[in-house]
Amino acid sequence: MAGASGLYDIVRCYMANPRKVAVLAFPGMAPFELGVVVEVFGLARPELAHDPYELTVFAEQAGPLAAIGGFSLTPSAGLEALRDAGTVVIPGCPDKGAEPSAELKGALRDAHARGARMVSICSGAFTLAAAGLLDGREAATHWRFAPLLAERYPKVRVRPDVLYVDDGDVLSSAGSAAGIDLCLHLVRLDHGSEVANAVARGLVVAPHRDGGQAQFIELPVSPRAGDQPVGRAMDWALERLGAPLSVGDLARQAHMSPRTFARRFHEAVGMSPGRWLSAQRVAASLPLLEGSDDPVEHVGSAVGFPNPANFRAQFRRHRGLSPAAYRRAFRARRQERPAA
DNA sequence: CGAGGGACCCGCCAAA
DNA sequence: ATTTTGGCGGGTCCCT
């Protein structure tokens, strides 16, 4: 949760450039998850123009590799791509029973030891686990595979209830769409919330779903399509986060009793209105912490926490560290610009 | 840091 | 009969 230590970050910046992204391809792979990674890290993005990602698709075998859906792809690199990658992504593997080769496991371990951050999507967690990179750590995978992962790799503390887990140098996400959330999370770490939000807008997905949010969301897509009452109330609230808002206000906005509003809301968003509200306020504070030197108290009151102590407590609850520590960590990351 | 008061959350249930 | 609603209670969490 809290991520790597400061010392580790400093060491890491000499060893691996997180902007160099390598994603694994293999026979029988699902194109969607590879596509997510390509979409976020491989497209030319004006938002990232000043500091773009370099994406490499690598595979153990020289292609062409048959993908699910009846087509094949030819990766441009082999395992040597792991030597200078700073971010390594493992998409879901089709066959959870298959043991990765010793070469792949070794290369992944080496990459991690060199300081690359290791990222899995969906059942890709099995590959990281097989390499021992999840031992003693919390990890996420698709809820359908969570029991199997826990059974096969007892040292992994499987979290079946979250969208993704950020354990600093090892990150794992649940089902394919949660991979989008995790990729956006990485963009936020590297470039800040504003850039991440811009990328999310480009993808037309919700700007940010917290890693700790429940996987079970009954409506698969965020209801923020202005015609739904709950979505309207959310939009309404987002426009006045700085003002005192109660969940009763939101219910009134949606023309519902507080009780049914809470029910509708939970069905749609996967959390209670009050919790969502405080999560949104914390999220809104991120760009202010990153981009300004406003005292933490000002930032808090600007996003609806008139009481600084309360702001700090809520911030810690949602993000696992204090606002000041977040600001410091963010600045430190931005400075870490390894010579290309 | 701790206590008091209030907001919130959620199971339950009667009513629509 | 089934589903949806919204009020109630009290336990919890939040906020001052």
Instruction: Return all residues near A97 (Cβ < 8 A) that are at least 6 apart.
Output: none
Residue A82 structure tokens: 């792991």
* Percent composition of chain A: helix, strand, coil (DSSP 3-state, to 5): 50, 10, 40
What is the rounded distance in angstroms from the CA atom of residue A285 to the CA atom of residue A279? 10
pTM exceeding the 0.85 threshold for the entire prediction? no
Q: How far is the CA of A40 from the C1' of B6 (A)?
A: 45
CA A314 to chain centre: 20
The pLDDT of residue A198 is above 90: no
Q: Looking at residues A58-76, what average pLDDT do you find?
A: 87
Considering only residues A219 and A285, tell me which one the structure prediction assigns the higher pLDDT.
A285
Task: Please enumerate, as own/partner, the contacts of A200-204 that have beta carbons within 8 Å and a separation of 24 or more.
Answer: A202/A45, A202/A47, A203/A39, A203/A40
Instruction: Judge contact between A30 and A201, C-beta under 8 A.
Output: no
Tokens 């009954």, located at residue: A218
Residues 285-324 of A near strand C (Cβ < 7 Å)?
A: 305-307, 309-310, 313-314, 317
| Strand C positions closer than 7 A to protein CB | 4-8, 14-16
Count the neighbouring beta carbons within 10 Å of the beta carbon of residue A253.
18
What is the rounded distance in angstroms from the CA atom of residue A266 to the CA atom of residue A217? 8
Least confident segment among A1-15, A106-120, A224-238: A1-15
Q: Looking at residues A15-26, what average pLDDT do you find?
A: 85
What is the rounded distance in angstroms from the CA atom of residue A112 to the CA atom of residue A96? 22
Residue A289 host element (H or E):
helix A273-291
Judge whether residue A280 contacts strand C, using its CB and a 7 Å cut-off: no
